[in-house]
């Protein structure tokens, strides 16, 4: 009998070890997005759980439009309001509802700001209006509780191609990802500690959005758009949930080209009927009220850039403070301590919009960056003495003759460069040998080409002149790729 | 998919715990209850057809002994007709209705595993009739024999004398058997998910899109189909053997490395052994076997393989597939001396490895051609596929990247190749008469644990299942 019991104990120990290993493997293969990604969904949700209990006053929910538009750091710096942006890519209202429910287990917000872009048809082929993969990513980040159980039951009921078992055993959904695993999949413990921006996605493009965009004014108040029935049901649930928890719900629509007056009217009527506020940043009243400039403040035609986000965030924060009595806090280290990190991000964003090469070289002269330079055709014509001097401050000699090939790399405070008439190439690594890169340069007589690859991905603009790629060691991503031609135009 | 589903293994674990908790004499009741639970979970329709057939067979079994010879024979024939009728109607009538009479097929309720349990019950009645066994008097124990859940749907087809006492006597706990059963289950999952279902992706792409793919594509797909069919069927019987062994019940082995066979006759000694021996014992030998001269032997062979073809499915392609195997054997026997003289002429010694591999390769190619007809949608398509294989010349598709357009990326191809290689190595080891299962069990525990976990993780990652895949049912599960 004793022999039998030792067998049972061995079976239990083996089962525990096997379960632990399978759990880790399943976590590794689950797709994750951290701060190196434009839309750091995983970091947003994992970070939320790390916030001190009952310290968040305002929550933002919605799609990527919201993730790019509301900046909790700006809101805290300006108004001392503590907020967290729980938006993510293609967040439909089912996900918004369950994440709000989940958030209320940990925080007691005074107000919730909800964007309604997904109230209308976004992806008609999807039962939940948005792509399954984004719903998965948001839900996979949620801790197990009865709320998650209800959520996945609801999602699987609505979307027949999803299964409850695949949420429990994630290998059912993601096992084929073994072919595409990368550093982030294994470094999740470290990366989940980076949620400094609290869900905000800083986008840096400027002057890309349509120049002839105008905010709309109310011209046809009777015109209405048809919302998605399922989304409308979940909007009702959100309204009810906020009502039950004594939370001020504020409906909004961030600046976006895919919004119009009819959609606005429908939401406005809904808001009036349910006695909730609605602020539409596409309507001329609000648009002009926050002094929005479409070309300067939009990253593209749908998302605000960091400068646009500043305006939208400040406008909303002011409303929250003045109309909703969200008082803010004297000091909270969770927001105060991330100010410096936010400033770094702003510096990164500025770099990709700097045209003047002298100013550019000053900005990239920072140990946070790995700088990779490759000449194509001839770069000597660009190099005045002043410019050489500016480069020398970065550590590059730039000792090139006419039509020479040239490459230069500044990584971990070490500068490597070479010039000559033959084709040149260099292979190295940055971030303590964790990321590899290769730089090749072919001057006029060596083939007229160049390449700057990081982790085997080509980033060089491959134009004639000085090609520069700036990789941010801290955020693990390329923050700018530029070519300066002989007239020093970007 | 039942035998690789989570729900099934929850049932198995619960049944195992209860089985070894119960007193020895009552353990068969746990198996009986587990069978009922199995039916409740997985057997939504047609269970009553199965139950009525089993009860009918039980009564026939009780009625045969003690009767006069003539009456006993009539009872036995009535039993055969009664047990075979549901299978004939359900599995074969649509062939007559649709293919021969040209009318719309009828939608029948199909009890799972009908082809398997029909043969099992026929063998029981025949054994009772021939007084090889005494009939089971306890109806519950008989139902347990007829419905033992791990092997019900896909075999191996058991004999009463081999299985019944193992089910009803109760087995004492034996750690070795439980662990070896567990090892077989892991191996079964590996065969099914990492080899069979991965190969199926390419096989389905080529076979289902004919005539888009010709020549080398069909060669590749047909080889992979041979591997898929074997590993798929081997997987389901391995899983059945693994689960049974955990209860202390040893099921017969259904395969003995059939693709190492050196002749078609040898192939049928190694392939689906429980069916081959059934056909031998209940069709071929009763017809006279090889005892009544060569011509009669060949006729018996043709009849046996026609029955085998009909058992595998209704349709001309299955008939032709069965006949082809009979013809292979007849020609093989008629040309034996001639072929031996060719070997001698070429200077290939009788016991040389060269001869062995020539024979193995030749047998495999013949089996492979027959599998093409077996897999093709219709007999006509099967013949066209074989014609295209030998008339279309496009070997470059193997050398350039075209092969990666058949549904598997190169990394998955590497996994499939490595898995087939591992399977081949283990088969070679077994071919020496050794048991890989025994050898592995004799390794130190921590080493085994490491390999178990690595195997489980490997199957989880490299298996073909889940979102984005059409999980393949066991091929023989449809029979």
DSSP single-letter state for residue A110: S
Is the separation of the CB atoms in B271 and B322 below 8 Å? no
**Nearest C-alpha neighbor of B210 from the set B219, B218, B220:** B218
Nearest CA in chain A to B445: A10
What percentage of chain B carries pLDDT values higher than 70? Answer: 97
How confident is the model at residue A294, as a pLDDT? 94
Tokens found for residue A102: 């989940």
Mean pLDDT of chain B, nearest integer: 91
With a cut of 90, say whether residue A412 has pLDDT above it.
no
How confident is the model at residue B470, as a pLDDT? 53
Is the separation of the CB atoms in B259 and B367 below 8 Å? yes
Which chain B positions have a beta carbon within 8 Å of A22's beta carbon? 456-457, 460
Model pLDDT for residues A289-315, shown as the tens digit of each residue: 999 999 999 999 999 999 999 999 999
Q: Quote the longest CA-to-CA distance of chain A.
A: 90
- Contact call for A172 and B465, based on CB within 8 A: yes
Q: How far is B217 from B398, CA to CA, in rounded Å? A: 8
**B449 contact A CB<8A:** yes
How confident is the model at residue B40, as a pLDDT? 86
Which residue of B462, B463, B466 is in closest CB contact with A173? B466
| Residue B29, min C-alpha distance to chain A (Å) | 22
ipTM passes above 0.90? no
Which residue of A3, A14, A22 is in closest CB contact with B460? A22
Model pLDDT for residues A149-167, shown as the tens digit of each residue: 999 999 999 999 999 999 9
Which chain A positions have a beta carbon within 8 Å of B463's beta carbon? 175
| Residue B399, min C-alpha distance to chain A (Å) | 23
Mean pLDDT of chain A, nearest integer: 93
Strand partners, B438: none
Q: What is the pTM of this model?
A: 0.88
Is the separation of the CB atoms in B253 and B16 below 8 Å? no
Q: Which of A1, A27, A176, A178 to substitute to test the interface with B, most B CBs within 10 Å?
A: A176
Nearest CA in chain B to A29: B461
Is the separation of the CB atoms in A374 and A467 below 8 Å? yes
Dihedral pair phi/psi, residue A454, rounded to 5°: -120, 125
Categorize the per-residue pLDDT at A14 as very low, low, confident or very high, splitting at 50, 70 and 90: very high
Q: How far is A397 from A388, CA to CA, in rounded Å? A: 7
Which chain B positions have a beta carbon within 8 Å of A173's beta carbon? 466-467
With a cut of 90, say whether residue B113 has pLDDT above it.
no
Strand partners, A59: A84, A112
Q: How far is A226 from A224, CA to CA, in rounded Å? A: 7
| Residue B450, min C-alpha distance to chain A (Å) | 10
Model pLDDT for residues A24-56, shown as the tens digit of each residue: 999 999 999 999 899 999 999 999 999 999 999
**Nearest C-alpha neighbor of A484 from the set A380, A369, A401, A345:** A380
Highest mean pLDDT among A388-397, B90-99, B175-184: B175-184
How confident is the model at residue B71, as a pLDDT? 85
With a cut of 70, say whether residue A100 has pLDDT above it.
yes
Mean of pLDDT values over A254-267: 94
Categorize the per-residue pLDDT at B111 as very low, low, confident or very high, splitting at 50, 70 and 90: confident
Model pLDDT for residues B295-311, shown as the tens digit of each residue: 999 999 999 999 999 99
Is the separation of the CB atoms in B17 and B162 below 8 Å? no
**B466 contact A CB<8A:** yes
Model pLDDT for residues B333-365, shown as the tens digit of each residue: 999 999 999 999 999 988 899 999 999 999 999
Q: How far is A426 from A406, CA to CA, in rounded Å? A: 10
Model pLDDT for residues A322-362, shown as the tens digit of each residue: 998 888 888 999 999 999 999 999 999 999 889 899 999 99
Which residue numbers of A have CB closer than 8 Å to B's CBs? 3-4, 7, 10, 14, 17-18, 21-22, 25-26, 29, 161, 163, 165-166, 169, 171-176, 178-179
Is the separation of the CB atoms in A282 and A253 below 8 Å? yes
Nearest CA in chain A to B5: A165
Mean of pLDDT values over B32-58: 89
CA dihedral of residues B461, B466, B467, B473 (deg, nearest 10): 140
Which residue of B175, B178, B457 is in closest CB contact with A25? B457
Which residue of A4, A17, A179 is in closest CB contact with B411? A179
Strand partners, A304: A298
**B404 contact A CB<8A:** no
3-class secondary structure, A419: strand
Q: How far is CA B467 from CA A165, A171, B409, in A?
A: 11, 9, 17
Mean of pLDDT values over B401-410: 90
Categorize the per-residue pLDDT at A207 as very low, low, confident or very high, splitting at 50, 70 and 90: confident
Which chain B positions have a beta carbon within 8 Å of A159's beta carbon? none
DSSP single-letter state for residue A114: E
- Contact call for A21 and B457, based on CB within 8 A: yes
Is the separation of the CB atoms in A309 and A59 below 8 Å? no
- Contact call for A14 and B449, based on CB within 8 A: yes
With a cut of 80, say whether residue B245 has pLDDT above it.
yes
Nearest CA in chain B to A23: B457
Model pLDDT for residues A427-484, shown as the tens digit of each residue: 999 988 889 999 999 998 888 999 999 999 999 999 999 999 999 998 899 999 999 9
- Contact call for A166 and B175, based on CB within 8 A: no
Nearest CA in chain B to A7: B175
Categorize the per-residue pLDDT at B479 as very low, low, confident or very high, splitting at 50, 70 and 90: low
Which residue of B453, B461, B467 is in closest CB contact with A178? B461
Dihedral pair phi/psi, residue B118, rounded to 5°: -60, -50
**B445 contact A CB<8A:** yes
- Contact call for B457 and A4, based on CB within 8 A: no
Q: Are strands A477-484 and A465-472 parallel, antiparallel or unpaired?
A: antiparallel
With a cut of 70, say whether residue B468 has pLDDT above it.
no
Dihedral pair phi/psi, residue A354, rounded to 5°: -90, 120
How confident is the model at residue B477, as a pLDDT? 55
Which chain A positions have a beta carbon within 8 Å of B445's beta carbon? 10
Q: How far is CA A55 from CA A103, A106, B443, B446, in A?
A: 12, 9, 56, 49
With a cut of 80, say whether residue B234 has pLDDT above it.
yes
Q: Which of A175, A177, A179 to substitute to test the interface with B, most B CBs within 10 Å?
A: A175
| Residue B453, min C-alpha distance to chain A (Å) | 6
- Contact call for A29 and B411, based on CB within 8 A: no
How confident is the model at residue B94, as a pLDDT? 82
Model pLDDT for residues B59-85, shown as the tens digit of each residue: 999 998 877 778 888 999 999 999 999
Q: How far is CA A245 from CA A100, A110, A150, A276, B390, in A?
A: 11, 9, 19, 14, 74
Number of cross-chain residue pairs from A and B with Cβ atoms under 8 Å apart: 52
- Contact call for A175 and B175, based on CB within 8 A: no
Q: Which of B172, B173, B457, B465 to substitute to test the interface with A, most A CBs within 10 Å?
A: B457
Categorize the per-residue pLDDT at B1 as very low, low, confident or very high, splitting at 50, 70 and 90: confident
Strands (E), B144-207: none
Q: How far is CA A192 from CA A50, A195, A474, in A?
A: 10, 7, 14
Model pLDDT for residues B164-215, shown as the tens digit of each residue: 999 999 899 999 999 999 999 999 999 999 999 999 999 999 999 988 899 9
| Residue A35, min C-alpha distance to chain B (Å) | 27
How confident is the model at residue B308, as a pLDDT? 94
Q: How far is B140 from B29, CA to CA, in rounded Å? A: 9
Categorize the per-residue pLDDT at B473 as very low, low, confident or very high, splitting at 50, 70 and 90: low
């Amino acid at each position: 009998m004793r022999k039998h019991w030792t067998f049972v104990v061995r079976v239990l120990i083996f089962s525990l070890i096997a379960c632990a290993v399978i759990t880790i493997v399943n976590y590794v293969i689950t797709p994750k997005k951290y701060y190196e990604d434009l839309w750091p969904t995983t970091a947003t949700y994992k970070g939320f759980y790390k916030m001190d209990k009952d310290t968040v006053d305002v929550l933002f929910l919605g799609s990527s439009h919201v993730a790019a538009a509301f900046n909790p750091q700006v809101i805290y710096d300006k108004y001392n309001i503590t907020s967290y942006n729980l938006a993510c890519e293609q967040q439909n209202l089912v996900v918004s509802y369950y994440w709000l429910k989940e958030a209320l287990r940990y925080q007691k917000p005074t107000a919730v700001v909800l964007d309604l872009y997904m109230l209308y048809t976004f992806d008609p082929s999807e039962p939940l209006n948005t792509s399954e993969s984004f719903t998965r990513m948001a839900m996979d980040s949620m801790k197990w509780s009865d709320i998650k159980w209800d959520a996945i039951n609801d999602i699987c009921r609505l979307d027949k191609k999803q299964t409850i078992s695949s949420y429990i055993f994630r290998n059912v959904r993601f096992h084929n990802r073994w072919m595409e695993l990368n550093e982030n999949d294994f470094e999740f413990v470290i990366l989940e500690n980076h949620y400094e921006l609290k869900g905000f996605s800083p986008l840096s493009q400027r002057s890309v959005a349509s120049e002839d965009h105008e905010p709309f004014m109310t011209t046809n108040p009777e015109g209405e758009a048809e919302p998605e029935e399922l989304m409308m049901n979940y909007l009702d649930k959100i309204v009810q949930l906020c009502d039950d928890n004594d939370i001020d719900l504020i409906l909004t629509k961030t600046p976006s080209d895919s919004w119009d007056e009819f959609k606005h009217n429908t939401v406005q009527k809904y808001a009036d009927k349910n006695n909730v506020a609605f602020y539409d940043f596409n309507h001329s009243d609000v648009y002009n009220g926050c002094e929005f400039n479409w070309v300067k403040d939009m990253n593209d035609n749908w998302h605000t850039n960091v400068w646009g986000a500043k305006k939208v965030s400040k406008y909303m924060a002011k409303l929250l403070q003045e109309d909703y009595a969200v008082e803010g806090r004297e000091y909270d280290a969770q927001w105060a301590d991330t100010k410096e990190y936010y400033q770094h991000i702003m510096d990164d964003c500025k770099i990709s919009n700097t045209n003047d090469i002298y100013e550019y070289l000053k900005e990239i002269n920072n140990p946070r960056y790995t700088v990779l330079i490759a000449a194509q055709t001839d770069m000597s014509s660009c190099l005045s003495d002043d410019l050489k001097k500016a480069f020398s401050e970065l550590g590059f000699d730039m000792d090139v003759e006419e039509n020479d090939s040239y490459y230069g790399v500044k990584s971990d405070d070490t500068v490597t460069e070479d010039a000559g008439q033959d084709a040149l190439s260099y292979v190295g690594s940055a971030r303590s040998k964790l990321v590899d890169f290769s730089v090749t340069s072919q001057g006029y007589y060596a083939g007229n080409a160049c390449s700057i690859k990081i982790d085997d991905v080509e980033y060089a603009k491959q134009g004639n002149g000085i090609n520069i790629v700036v990789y941010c060691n801290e955020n693990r991503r390329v923050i700018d790729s530029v070519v300066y031609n002989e007239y020093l135009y970007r | 998919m039942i035998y690789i589903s989570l729900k099934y293994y929850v049932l198995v674990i619960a049944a195992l715990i209860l089985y070894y908790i119960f007193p020895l004499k009552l353990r068969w009741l746990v198996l009986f209850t587990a069978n009922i639970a199995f039916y409740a979970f997985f057997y939504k329709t047609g269970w009553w057809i199965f139950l009525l057939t089993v009860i009918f067979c039980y009564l026939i079994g009780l009625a045969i002994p003690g009767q006069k010879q003539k009456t006993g024979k009539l009872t036995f024939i009535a039993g055969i007709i009664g047990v075979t009728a549901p299978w004939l109607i359900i599995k074969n009538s649509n062939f007559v209705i649709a293919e021969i009479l040209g009318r719309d097929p009828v939608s029948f309720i199909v009890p799972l595993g009908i082809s398997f349990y029909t043969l099992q019950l026929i063998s029981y009645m025949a054994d009772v009739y021939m007084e090889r066994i005494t009939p089971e008097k306890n109806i519950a124990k008989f139902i347990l024999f007829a419905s033992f859940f791990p092997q019900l749907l896909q075999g191996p087809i058991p004999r009463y004398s081999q299985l019944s006492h193992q089910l009803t006597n109760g087995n004492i706990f034996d750690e070795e058997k439980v662990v070896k059963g567990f090892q077989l289950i892991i191996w079964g999952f590996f065969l099914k998910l990492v080899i069979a279902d991965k190969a199926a992706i390419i096989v389905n792409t080529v076979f289902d899109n004919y005539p888009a793919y010709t020549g080398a594509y069909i060669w590749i797909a047909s080889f992979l189909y041979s591997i898929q069919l074997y590993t798929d069927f081997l997987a389901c019987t391995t899983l059945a053997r693994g689960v049974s062994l955990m209860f202390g019940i040893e099921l017969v082995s259904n395969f003995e490395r059939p693709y190492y066979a050196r002749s078609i006759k040898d192939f049928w000694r190694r392939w689906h052994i429980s069916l081959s021996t059934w056909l031998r014992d209940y069709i071929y030998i009763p017809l006279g076997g090889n005892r009544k001269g060569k011509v009669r032997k060949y006729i018996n062979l043709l009849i046996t393989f026609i029955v085998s073809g009909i058992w595998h499915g209704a349709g001309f392609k299955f008939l032709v597939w069965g006949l082809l195997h009979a013809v292979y054997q007849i020609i093989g026997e008629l040309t034996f001396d001639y072929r031996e003289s060719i070997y001698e002429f070429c200077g290939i010694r009788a016991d040389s490895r060269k001869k062995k591999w020539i024979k193995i390769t030749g047998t495999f190619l013949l089996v492979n051609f027959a599998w093409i007809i077996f897999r093709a949608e219709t007999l006509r398509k099967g013949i066209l596929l074989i014609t295209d294989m030998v008339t279309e010349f496009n070997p470059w598709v193997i050398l350039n990247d075209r092969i990666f357009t058949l549904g598997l990326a190169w990394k998955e191809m590497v996994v499939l190749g490595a898995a087939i290689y591992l399977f081949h190595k283990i088969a070679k080891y077994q071919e020496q008469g050794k048991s890989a299962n025994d050898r592995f069990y004799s390794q130190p525990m921590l080493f085994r644990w490491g390999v178990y976990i690595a195997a489980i993780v490997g199957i989880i990652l490299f298996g073909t299942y889940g979102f984005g895949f059409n999980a393949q049912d066991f091929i023989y599960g449809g029979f």
